[in-house]
Structure 1
Amino acid sequence: MGYRSFSKFRCIVIVFSLLALIFQTGCWSKDEIEDLSIIVGMGLDMANETKLEEKLDKRRTNYRKKDNVTYTLQIVDKQSEARSGDAKSDTSAKPYLNVSETGDSLFEMIREFSSRLERPIIGHHLKVIIINESLSRRYDMNNLLSFMLRDNDIRLNCLVVMSSGIAREVLEAKGRSIIPAFRLFGMSDNRYRTYKILPPMSLIKLEGKMNSKSSYLLQNVIAVDGEVEFSGAAVVKGKSQKFRGRLNEEELIGVTWLRGDGKGGAVKSYDQKTKELITYELKTMKSKIVPHIEGSKISFHVNIETEGRIIEEWLVTNEPVDAKFLSKAEQTVEKEINRLIKLGLNKIQKEYKTDVVGFGTRLSIKHPKVWKKVKEDWDEEFSRVHITYDVKVKITETGTKQGH
C-alpha cells in the first residue's frame, strides 16, 4: 500500500471513529428517570363525592374554575424506593404517591400539579384510567377522555375501567409493597381463570366504540379498605356515551356466554334429582349469532357450544361416571347456562336497551341494507327484536375419577 493510500485510509478511519463517538453519546434531549414523576394511574371522580374539597380549598387558587371533577394521579415514588434499601428508612412509606386536584379542565389540572410537585410528570407509563360511574352518568365519555386521547404523552394501550365507588379509593392499597395501578393492570390478565373478567378495554379500543356510538361494557371495580375486586360490568349507552347501569356477576356471565369471548371459568349447577353440586370447568366457548329477516321483522338465533370437564361433584360416592352420568351432567350444566343467559339478556335488552353483545355488528355484515335503515336508533330497535339461543355442552373429561 502506498503512502497516499495509507494516509487516505487513515483519514477515513478517523472520520468514522469520530462519527461513532458522536452517535454513541445517547439521546441529547434525555431526562433522567429520577428527575421525573411517572404517572401509572388516573382516577376521575365527581368533585362533591370525594370529600377532598375542604382539604383542597385550603390551598389558595387564583384561577377561575368550576369544581366539577376531582382528578387523581398515582405517581411512582422513586424516593420511597430509594429509601427502602436503607435500614433507617421509614418502613411505612408506600412506593406510590396519590395527588388530587379539583376543577373543570383536566389539562389545566395536570399542569396545576407542576406547582405542587418538585419533578415534572410524564404519562408514558400510564397503566389504568378509573372513571367513577356517577361522573360518567353526568358527563359523556368523549368529554372525560378527550384530553387523554389528544395527549402525546399518554399511550393508548392503557386500561380503562369503571368504579362503582370513589375512583381515588381504588388507587389506595393496604400493603406497602403494592402499586395499585400495577395490581389492577395485572388482574386483567386472569381472564383464563374466570369469565367474570372482561376482555381488557384499552383507550384506543374505547375510542373506536365512542366514534361509532356503539354501546359497550367496561370492567367494574370496587374498593373496600385498600382491597380491590373486579365485580360485574358497567354498561355505557352508545348514543349518549354515558353510564346506563351495571351488570351483576351472574348477568355479566350470561352476556359473556352470548358473546362467546370467555377464556376460562366454572359453571356451578345442581343435580335435578339429588340437588347436589356439580361444577363444570370450561375449556372452550364458542358463540355464533345468526340474524334472520322476515319482511320488516328482525330476529336472531345464537348457537353456543362449549367443551370442558367435571372438576367437582358432590354426588353419591359409588355412582359410576358413565355415559348416563355424563349426559345428565351436561343437561344440568346447560340448564344453568340458559338461566344465566336469560338474566343477562333481559337486563341489556329490556331494561338498559343497549346492544353490548354485537347483534348489530352481525346484522350489518349479513344484511347491510337492513342495517342501514335501523343503525341510527339501533339500541331502541334491539330492545324489540326476538332473540333465541341454544346451548350445547360437551363434557370431555371427568378428572381422575374412574367409573365402577
Structure 2
Amino acid sequence: MIRLIKKAITFTLLLCLTSIFLTGCWDRTEVNDLALILAAGIDKGKDNNVELSAQIYIPQGSQGGQSGMSGGGSSGGQSFVRSAEGETIADAMAQLQVVLTREIFWGQNEVLIIGEKLAKEGISEHIDFWMRHSEPRIRANVFVSKERPKKVLGAMPELERDTAKQLRKIVQTDIGVKVTVKDLSEMLSGESNAAVLPYVENLPPSQMDSKSKEVPIIKGTAILKEGKMVGKLDDKEIRGILWPRNEIKSGVITINIENEQGYISLNLLRSQTKLTPSIKNNHWRINIKTNADLEVVQNTTKLDLFDPKIINKVEQKVINEIEARERLAFSLVQKKLQADVFGFADEFQRKYPQIWKQKREEWNEIFPEVDVSFDTRVKVERTGLATGEKNKGVEH
C-alpha cells in the first residue's frame, strides 16, 4: 500500500515538473496580426532599383479598418496593393515591411508577375533569390506582364475575388502555358537555357461597364533566352510550341474540307508527343511524333461523318493543321528568336552525352540549323450524332 502511495506521489510530481516545460501558445501569431501576401510582382524601379509590389489580403474581421488605405496602394474588395523599392528584392522586402503595420507572411503567395521591362533586362538572379528564400512559395505561378505588375495586381476581376485568383484560374484551364517558379528555374538552368511564360495584359473596361474595371487576361506567351525576354508569341503561335513540349491538354480544332461549305470542330481528348533526336555525319535532326485523339463537337457541313473515307479526310486535315501551327512556331522561335523552348538540347544531351560535351558551347549556332521532321497521327474516336441519326428508330 505504501509503495503504491509513493508511486502515485512520484507520478504526480513528474506531471507537475513536465507542465513547467509546456510552452502552450505563448508565441502564436494571430491571422489579424499578419499581412497575407496573395500575389507579388517585380519590376524595374528608379535608379536601377527593383520594385516589389504585393497584393495583401484583408481578413474579414479587420476589413473596415484597412479598406480605406491609400497613398501608394490601391484597394479592391478584400485586398490592397503596396509597393516598395530596393537595391535587391531582399532590400525591397525589408522596405515593404516598413510601410506595413503587420508582419509579412508569404505562405499564401500563389502568383509572381514580372514586368516586361525587367524581363528584357534579365530575371535569372531574381528567380535565384525566389528559389533560395525560405518564405516565398516556389509553386507560385509566374507571368510576364505588359503593364507594370502593381497595375495588374490592382485590377478588379468581375468573377474572381482578386487578381491572384483570376490568373490562377486561367492557367488551370490547361489551354496555354503553365509555369511555376520551380519550373522556370529548371528551364533557365537546363541545357536549353530558354523558357516560356504566360503573357498578361489588362483587358480594357467595356463601354457598357459603368464601373470601368480592368480585368487581367493571358494574351500570348513571352519567350526567354538566357534569362532575358527576347520576344512574344500570340495565342495561335503558342499552340505550335505546346505540341512539341507535350503540354497540350485541351482545345478545339476547327477545320474546313476543300470544296465543302461549313466547318467541323473537334475537341481534343488526349495527346502525347515524343522527341527523337539523331546525329549522323554531324547533321543534327529531331523527329516530333505526336498521337492525338479527338471527338467531333460540331459539324456545319453536309458531310456524312459515318463514312470512313470522310473521316480519313478529316483526320488528314487535322494533321495538316497541327503541323502548320508547329512549322509557324518553329519559323519564329527556331529561326528568328533562336531560343530552344522545345527542350531539344536536353534530348540530345540524354541520347548523345559524349558528343554533347564537345558541342555544348556551340548549341546557339547548332540549334537554328537542326532539321525538324513531323510524324503526326490523329484518330477521331467519336463523331457524335446528327439530328437525323438521333431520330432514327424513335416511335411517335
TM-score (norm 2): 0.85
Q: What amino acid does structure 1 have at the position aligned with 2:294?
A: G
**Over residues 99-128 of structure 1, what are the superposed CA-to-partner deviations in whole Å (9 max), with x where a residue is unaligned?**
122343222222122332211212122111
In structure 2, the partner of 1:59 is none
Structure 2 counterparts to residues 356-395 of structure 1, below 5 A:
356-395=341-380
In structure 2, the partner of 1:202 is 180
Q: What amino acid does structure 1 have at the position aligned with 2:81?
A: N
- Maintained 8 Å contact 1:80/1:94: no
Q: How many residues align?
A: 370
Q: CA RMSD in A?
A: 2.6
Q: Alpha-carbon deviation of 1:74?
A: 0.9
Q: Secondary structure at the match of 1:315?
A: coil
Q: Alpha-carbon deviation of 1:156?
A: 1.6
Q: What amino acid does structure 2 have at the position aligned with 1:113?
A: L
Q: What amino acid does structure 1 have at the position aligned with 2:228?
A: K
Q: Alpha-carbon deviation of 1:134?
A: 2.0
- Maintained 8 Å contact 2:166/2:216: no
Bigger mean CA deviation after superposition, 366-375 or 2-11: 2-11
In structure 2, the partner of 1:315 is 301
Q: Alpha-carbon deviation of 1:397?
A: 0.6
Distance 1:235 1:175, change over 3 A: closer
In structure 2, the partner of 1:267 is 253
- Maintained 8 Å contact 2:113/2:149: yes
Q: Does structure 1 residue 302 correspond to structure 2 residue 284?
A: no
Identity %: 23
In structure 2, the partner of 1:55 is none
In structure 1, the partner of 2:171 is 188
Q: Structure 2: how far apart are the matches of 1:397 and 1:19?
A: 69
**Over residues 303-360 of structure 1, what are the superposed CA-to-partner deviations in whole Å (9 max), with x where a residue is unaligned?**
11101111112102x7353212211211111111111111111111001111111211
Q: Alpha-carbon deviation of 1:250?
A: 1.2
Q: 2:118 aligns with which of 135, 159, 165?
A: 135
Q: Secondary structure at the match of 2:183?
A: helix
Q: 1:148 aligns with which of 113, 130, 148?
A: 130
- Maintained 8 Å contact 1:222/1:229: yes
Q: Structure 2: how far apart are the matches of 1:333 and 1:296?
A: 34
- Maintained 8 Å contact 1:80/1:95: no
Q: Structure 1: how far apart are the matches of 2:349 and 2:79?
A: 47
**Over residues 60-119 of structure 1, what are the superposed CA-to-partner deviations in whole Å (9 max), with x where a residue is unaligned?**
xxxxxx2543321111122676449xxxxxxx9621110122343222222122332211
Structure 2 counterparts to residues 217-236 of structure 1, below 5 A:
217-225=196-204, 226-236=214-224
Q: Secondary structure at the match of 1:400?
A: coil
TM-score (norm 1): 0.84
Distance 1:83 1:368, change over 3 A: same
In structure 1, the partner of 2:384 is 399
- Maintained 8 Å contact 1:81/1:95: no
Distance 1:268 1:10, change over 3 A: farther
Q: Secondary structure at the match of 1:383?
A: helix
In structure 2, the partner of 1:52 is none
- Maintained 8 Å contact 2:288/2:374: yes
Q: Does structure 1 residue 76 correspond to structure 2 residue 57?
A: yes
Structure 2 counterparts to residues 1-400 of structure 1, below 5 A:
2-9=1-8, 11-12=10-11, 15-16=14-15, 19=18, 23=22, 25-26=24-25, 28-47=26-45, 66-78=47-59, 82-83=63-64, 94-138=77-121, 140-175=122-157, 178-191=161-174, 194=175, 197-198=176-177, 200-212=178-190, 214-225=193-204, 226-238=214-226, 241-316=227-302, 319=304, 321-400=306-385
Q: Structure 1: how far apart are the matches of 2:240 and 2:141?
A: 23
Q: Structure 2: how far apart are the matches of 1:396 and 1:208?
A: 36
